[in-house]
Chain A
Amino acid sequence: MSILVLADLHEGQLAGATAHVVAAAKAIGGDIDVLVAGEGVQAAADAAAKLDGVSKVRIADNAVYAHQLAEPMGALLVELAGDYTHVLASASTTGKNVLPRLAALKDVSQLSDVIGVESADTFLRPIYAGNAIATVKSDDALKVMTVRTTAFDAVESAGSAAVEAVEVVVENGQSSFIKQELAQSDRPELGGAKVVVSGGRGMGNGENFKLLDGIADKLGAAIGASRAAVDAGFVPNDMQVGQTGKIVAPELYIAVGISGAIQHLAGMKDSKVIVAINKDEEAPIFQVADYGLVGDLFDILPELESKL
């Protein structure tokens, strides 16, 4: 078996997700290469070379791969895929954008959001917003899959793989990058945070989300939101936790003013400990919460902050 892992980048640096995908690759077994593609990504390649279990890092450093647009990335992966039995990427927006192109071009199916490896051809993945777990077997010659990072523990940074340049440069006359607006935050990344505090429609407005700041600071937590809070314009959409937003599985998830719709639960019900703060005793969130506190969040949040 030989596995290619597409590295995740965040502003040119290696993103934490990659270490989780390498862990999934180790569960499959075989040689693991990591592909770092982008522009000015030497530092990311060096970081990838340190990941435990990686045999080789392949670096494609060229302006055409800047921002990892789907068209050139798909073409690059098709050129390289012949050397591998498996191609993996995290189920990030980049992995989801690029990998199905590779699969279609190689005329194979793709397995999305893999959460478990049973063998080199049999995998577990959630369907119906995480309300069922499917075991699927792929008889395709090339297995293309995205990996749910929260389902695999990150590998350590203790290795020292060689970094080798990839000379493949593809043309892209179809798409071009115009701009990017990234939300600025000093807090931990939502997907990798050990503690997440999320607000829902019950927060009332965007201003009230500040009530979560002090608690998040004290706990070193990331702040998330339900779709209702995003749709109401309280917070930007990249904070959304759920089937259509981010999937998180922190040690502690605190849901404040969130009713617990199926769509939201899909994004957080694998958290180790769930706390719900809600004034509606009947809210479905209490059915999954380990600890529930019924009451007015405007009384509870300041008290919680002062006592932590």
Chain B
Amino acid sequence: MKVLVAVKRVIDYNVKIRVKADNSDVDLTNVKMAMNPFCEIAVEEAVRLKEKGVATEVVAVTVGPKAAQEQLRTALALGADRAIHIETDERVESLAVAKLLAKVVDEEQPGLVILGKQAIDTDNNQTGQMLAALTNLPQGTFASEVAVDGDKVNVTREIDGGLQTVALSLPAIVTTDLRLNEPRYAKLPDIMKAKKKPLDVKTPADYGVEVASKVSLLKVESPAERKGGVKVASVDELIDKLKNEAKVL
């Protein structure tokens, strides 16, 4: 079975972001970029399925600017067999990404599609669900365990309050939660080999998908700063402050 993995290029999760002075957006110039952490987990799961003999081929796909090919090369170095880059410099919302991925699913006919549960830039947590809706496939979101069993996949999901296991008919869409696995690092020889693996470049127009959205970003602001706090010297002082100053006890 073929496994399709979607990856996204985002600001590195360790970077403390800055809002632009004109409040138009977050400043991304000269900021370190990386593969979204949840996407790394998705790639790892796909590669593990291949190592187990469940998956025959792993195809990585991304939607984004030319530079996003770095993240596809990373996926290839981690074990993906080939990659598809849908190149656009526009701001592409979840719905348009889902529409593009639906076209790729249509073309590639994967048995399983794995995405991260959310991208740490927009924090939307939508694309996998939208893709499932558009392809009319079942979804296993926030997966902490994925077990392919014949023509079904059992997905254990992290839900509020605990865990839930669902059985989905294949093909299916799965989105990864943090505890699904621990992604491996790319080894230098694999990084070199990845440069020779096939990478197709397409555009949204090739798929006949309009990326414009009806949602517009009016402004981006920094959140209200918390007032600098004080250090207390003892438990007694802490309890006193909480009772008499903050009045929360």
Q: Which residues of A contact B (CB under 8 A)?
A: 10, 67, 69-71, 74, 92-94, 96-105, 107-113, 122, 126-140, 173-183, 191, 195, 219, 227, 230-231, 236-238, 243-244, 246, 251-252, 262-263, 269, 272-275, 286-294, 300, 303-304, 307-308
Contact = CB atoms under 8 A, between A and B. Distances in A.
A262 B14 CA distance: 8
B223 A292 contact: no
Interface in B1-49: 11, 13-14, 16-17, 19, 26
Nearest to B239: A307
A238 B166 contact: no
A211 to B, nearest CB: 14
B181 interface: no
B236 interface: yes
Contacts of B204: none
B125 to A, nearest CB: 5
Chain B contact patch, size range? 35 or more
Contact of B123 (A102, A179, A243, A262): A243
Contacts of B94: 100, 109-110
Contacts of A109: 93-95, 213-215
Contacts of B146: none
Contacts of B234: 293
Contacts of B132: 70, 101
Contacts of B249: 219, 252, 308
Contact of A93 (B93, B159, B218): B159
Contacts of A133: 220-223
Nearest to B222: A132
Nearest to B139: A70
Contacts of A70: 129, 132, 138-139, 141
Interface stretch (B69-77, B194-202, B224-232): B224-232
Given A109-B95, A174-B169, A178-B167, A92 B160 contact: yes
Contacts of A173: 169
Nearest to B243: A308
Nearest to B248: A252
Nearest to B169: A174
B93 to A, nearest CB: 6
Contacts of B133: 74, 100-102, 104-105
B160 A246 contact: yes
A246 to B, nearest CB: 7
A131 B216 contact: no
A273 B242 contact: yes
B109 to A, nearest CB: 17
Given A104-B133, A134-B220, A182-B161, A290 B229 contact: yes
Contacts of B248: 195, 251-252, 272-273
Given A111-B215, A132-B223, A174-B137, A93 B158 contact: yes
A100 B231 contact: no
A104 B98 CA distance: 8
A128 B223 CA distance: 11
A135 B218 contact: yes
A112 to B, nearest CB: 5
A36 B232 CA distance: 48
B246 interface: yes
Contacts of A67: 164
B66 interface: no
A243 B13 CA distance: 11
B162 A104 contact: no
Contacts of A104: 95, 98, 129-131, 133-134
B230 A112 contact: no
A290 B120 contact: no
B205 interface: no
Contacts of B88: none
B214 A127 contact: no
A178 B154 contact: yes
B179 interface: yes
A303 B166 contact: no
Give me the 10 closest cross-chain CB pairs, A-B, nearest first: A100-B129, A104-B130, A174-B138, A104-B133, A182-B162, A100-B126, A101-B133, A139-B214, A290-B229, A178-B165
